[in-house]
């Protein structure tokens, strides 16, 4: 892992569907060199794959991050994906969980999740609601085709949706520009020596400009509103440097806490996400049919 690898990961967080040539431009590498680096990141367990995040506001829901401390096995994590309203789970290196819940009733969703996992959460945070235009049935068709394979080649995406290339490109570009959907690189702890890539959870109303005075390489990848928290992708030379910078952040008055959070794996509840999208498609088809009948 070096600075170029980190910049490639940053580029994937910003647009995971961009070409190898486009990724290479940001780090002055050729497309074959980028392909080789991405292959190495896969082989060493740094880059595990990709998942599709959809802003739950399009389903009239809000996202809640729910935290559990008890250590769990991989089988228990997969079982947790079947709990009501769970969209993804971050399985931490210490065995604990960060569960992404897309809820239309926060207290009810947390209560059901606690029962399903057999543990009371150590805390939760609600993300801010976006302000997006209502999606069309064509938007949802494109989203549905991306859920299982967010990096599906464009030609196959056209075939799966049955739409024209122009229509697919238009709606895909609109969805990604507005950040209605985000293709998230699924990062693991990795097994290779060298510089470390890790996530940092920063609590408090602190601007990124203040954080970057301590962390040279930090990308904001997620944010919650209540309580205010930022989730960052960071890079450091070694574990000692990580601890030094984390302690420095914790000394800042505008920061309530800063803690390293390392995912062993990030898994998505694709069946649940499919169900929400397809329910919207069915409802919109029924509405369109009824309008046609009474026109």
* Span 218-257, pLDDT tens digits: 889 888 888 898 989 888 888 888 889 999 999 998 899 9
In this structure, how many other beta carbons lie within 10 angstroms of the beta carbon of residue 53? 19
Nearest CA-CA partner of 257 in 180, 205, 181: 205
Provide the residue count of the chain: 295
Residue 178 lies in a domain: no
Domain shared by 58 and 111, yes or no: yes
Evaluate whether residue 222 is within a structural domain. no
Which residue range is the domain that position 84 belongs to? 53-131+266-274
If asked whether residues 26 and 63 sit together in one domain, one would say no
Query: Looking at the domain assignment, is residue 286 inside a domain?
Result: no
pLDDT, residue 127, reads 83
Q: Tell me, yes or no, whether 61 lies in a domain.
A: yes
Number of domains in the chain: 2
The tokens describing 221, both together, are: 């990848």
CA dist., res. 68 & res. 66, Å (int): 7
Question: What is the separation of C-alpha 172 from the centre of its chain, rounded to a whole number of angstroms?
Answer: 17
Q: What is the separation, in whole angstroms, between the first and last Cα of the chain?
A: 61
pLDDT at residue 197 is higher than 60: yes
What's the CA gap between 114 and 257, in Å, rounded? Answer: 25
Distance, in Å, from the CA atom of 268 to the CA atom of 253, rounded to the nearest integer, reads: 36
pLDDT tens by residue, 5-46: 989 998 998 889 999 999 999 889 999 999 999 999 999 888
β-partners of residue 236 are 196
Residue for token digits 């590498």?
29
* CATH number of the CATH domain containing 19: 1.10.10.10
Query: How far is Cα 154 from Cα 170, in angstroms, rounded to an integer?
Result: 12
């Amino acid at each position: 892992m070096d600075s170029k690898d980190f910049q490639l990961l940053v580029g994937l967080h910003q647009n995971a569907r961009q070409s190898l040539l486009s990724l290479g431009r940001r780090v002055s590498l050729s497309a074959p060199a980028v392909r080789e680096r991405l292959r190495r990141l896969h082989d060493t367990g740094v880059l595990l794959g990709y998942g599709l995040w959809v802003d739950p506001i399009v389903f009239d829901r809000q996202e809640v991050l729910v935290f559990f401390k008890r250590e769990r096995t991989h089988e228990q994590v997969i079982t947790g994906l079947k709990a009501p309203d769970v969209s993804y789970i971050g399985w931490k290196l210490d065995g604990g969980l960060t569960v992404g819940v897309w809820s239309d009733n926060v207290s009810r969703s947390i209560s059901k999740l606690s029962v399903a996992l057999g543990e009371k959460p150590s805390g939760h945070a609600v993300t801010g609601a976006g302000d997006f235009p209502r999606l069309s049935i064509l938007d949802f068709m494109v989203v549905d085709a991306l859920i299982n394979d967010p990096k599906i080649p464009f030609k196959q995406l056209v075939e799966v949706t049955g739409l024209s290339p122009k229509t697919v490109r238009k709606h895909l570009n609109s969805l990604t520009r507005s950040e209605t959907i985000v293709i998230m690189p699924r990062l693991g702890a990795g097994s290779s020596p060298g510089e470390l890539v890790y996530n940092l959870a920063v609590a408090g109303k602190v601007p990124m400009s203040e954080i970057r005075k301590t962390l040279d390489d930090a990308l904001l990848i997620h944010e919650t509103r209540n309580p205010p928290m930022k989730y960052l992708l960071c890079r450091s030379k070694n574990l000692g440097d990580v601890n030094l910078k984390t302690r420095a952040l914790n000394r800042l008055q505008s920061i309530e806490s800063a803690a390293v959070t390392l995912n062993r794996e990030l898994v998505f509840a694709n069946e649940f996400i499919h169900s929400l999208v397809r329910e919207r498609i069915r409802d919109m088809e029924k509405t369109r049919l009824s309008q046609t009948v009474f026109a």
